[in-house]
Structure 1
Amino acid sequence: MGAAYFYHLTRRPLEDTLTMLLGKALQAGWRVAVRGPDAGRLGWLDEKLWLGADEGFLPHGMAGGPHDADQPVLLTTGPAANNATCVMTIDGAEVTAEEVAALDRVCVLFDGNDPDALNVARAQWKALKDAGASAQYWSEESGRWEKKAET
């Protein structure tokens, strides 16, 4: 049974934190789907990920291509088409307790400087907790990632 990890972004931009988490997921041998509600935003993220980090190349693709099933990281607005064992959601994309239970990990990244994003993340936390899903809340407020809560 998996767990949902909530990442409260306050210091680093989404693309930096996501790159770090994707690198760790790939090192763990996971296939990842990055789910967002807006295709345009995923296109922007696709460009950022292709620019790469100092650590090197991050293999990924946008959903809708002929090789979706082969992508180690697939950016999508819908279900994972790459047999993902980890789903990372951005911008309030939906996640269910059933999905948390079926996957190795679900990561929910949200902008701590956006009141609407905070409200969505709080509602997701409550819904998952009420459904009995395992969840952890991580904050970077101190300058490094620290676990602040766990269900």
Structure 2
Amino acid sequence: MTGCEVWFYHLERQGLDQVLPALLERTLQKGWRARVRAASTERMEHLDGWLWSYRDDSFLPHAADPGAGASDPVVLTTEAGNPDSAEALFLVDGAEPGDLAGFQRCSVIFDGREETALAAARAQWRQFREAGFTAAYWRQGERGWEKVS
């Protein structure tokens, strides 16, 4: 078993743009720093703009690689690794986890309405479990997030 726990977030009622900011806010409230690893530069650039303006009364301080500094609480990237010693890693759009050393939590966020994303998440679930990670599965229900497994 490893020190990093892996949480899967199965999106059904809301998309990534609605869910990710709330998860990042909770992460920062814990005093943790976060890396958001996207599978493409285009997605990273979209999230970079979105996190500044997703809500009229708030924004999430962050930076996008390259150019992110060690003091940035949230770093958006397409690269593996954890050079800024973040506690939380968020994988979006099927991004590969890479080495999870140093992370306390890895969150795999996938859209359950897309069959390819669902199949990829199932494969990642098996891989993490076989590698000895503690994994939890969260699904969007009528009352919010429900822990299924």
Scaled by the length of structure 2, what TM-score is found? 0.91
1:142 alignment partner AA? E
Alignment-derived partner of residue 145 in structure 1? 145
1:143 Cα deviation from its structure 2 partner: 4.2
Q: Which secondary structure state, in structure 2, belongs to the residue aligned with residue 107 of structure 1? A: strand
**Aligned 1:1-150 pairs, distance under 5 A:** 1-54=3-56, 56-65=58-67, 67-78=68-79, 79-96=81-98, 99=100, 102-149=102-149
Per-residue Cα deviation, 1:38-58 (whole angstroms, up to 9, x for no partner): 011110111111113256221
Cα distance in 2, alignment partners of residues 110 and 121 from structure 1:
7
Q: 1:143 to 1:32 in 2, by over 3 A?
A: same
Cα distance in 1, alignment partners of residues 132 and 60 from structure 2:
34
| Contact 2:8–2:136, Cα closer than 8 Å, also in 1 | yes
Q: CA RMSD in A?
A: 1.5
1:80 Cα deviation from its structure 2 partner: 3.2
Cα distance in 2, alignment partners of residues 16 and 80 from structure 1:
25
| Contact 2:27–2:33, Cα closer than 8 Å, also in 1 | yes
Unaligned ranges ≥5, structure 1? none
| Contact 1:11–1:143, Cα closer than 8 Å, also in 2 | no
Q: Which secondary structure state, in structure 2, belongs to the residue aligned with residue 4 of structure 1? A: strand
Scaled by the length of structure 1, what TM-score is found? 0.90
1:69 Cα deviation from its structure 2 partner: 1.8
Of all paired residues, the percent bearing the same amino acid is 40
Unaligned ranges ≥5, structure 2? none
| Contact 2:82–2:102, Cα closer than 8 Å, also in 1 | no
1:133 Cα deviation from its structure 2 partner: 0.3
Alignment length (residue pairs)? 146
1:139 Cα deviation from its structure 2 partner: 0.2
| Contact 1:128–1:135, Cα closer than 8 Å, also in 2 | yes
1:71 alignment partner AA? D
